[in-house]
Amino acid sequence: MSSDLNSPDKSQSDGFLDLRGTPCPINFVRTKLRLEQMPPNSLLEVWLDAGEPIEQVPDSLKMEGYQLETVENRQEFFSVLVRKPVKL
């Protein structure tokens, strides 16, 4: 397993979105659309910038019924693992 903090953890996630540089609320909308395309119980890794994106997107996903598995600070960005529930 690679220890490179700048590469997605493909061993854990079923999908990946790099939304660094994407403003709110577009980053939330793109995350939600990608999750809607995935099968139930899938795990999506999303990379977000510090500040408003990491403050807003995880909370918005929880309010929509998605489960946050982890939020990891990778120094230059945050990696969020979010699971699509079996039923929303």
What secondary structure does DSSP assign to 37-87, as a single string? HSPTT-EEEEEE-TTHHHHHHHHHHHHTT-EEEEEEE-SSSEEEEEE--S-
Domains of the chain listed by start with CATH number? 15-83 (3.30.110.40)
Confidence of residue 87 (pLDDT cuts 50, 70, 90): confident
Q: Is the whole-model pTM more than 0.75? A: yes
Say if CB 17 and CB 42 are below 8 A apart: no
Among 7-11, 23-27, 61-65, where is mean pLDDT lowest? 7-11
Asked if residue 23 has pLDDT above 70, the reply is yes
The pLDDT score that the predictor gives to residue 14 is: 95
Query: Band of the pLDDT at 2, cuts 50, 70, 90?
Result: very low
Contact 66, 83 (CB under 8 A): yes
* Digit-coded pLDDT (tens) for 30-78: 999 999 999 999 999 999 999 999 999 999 999 999 999 999 999 999 9
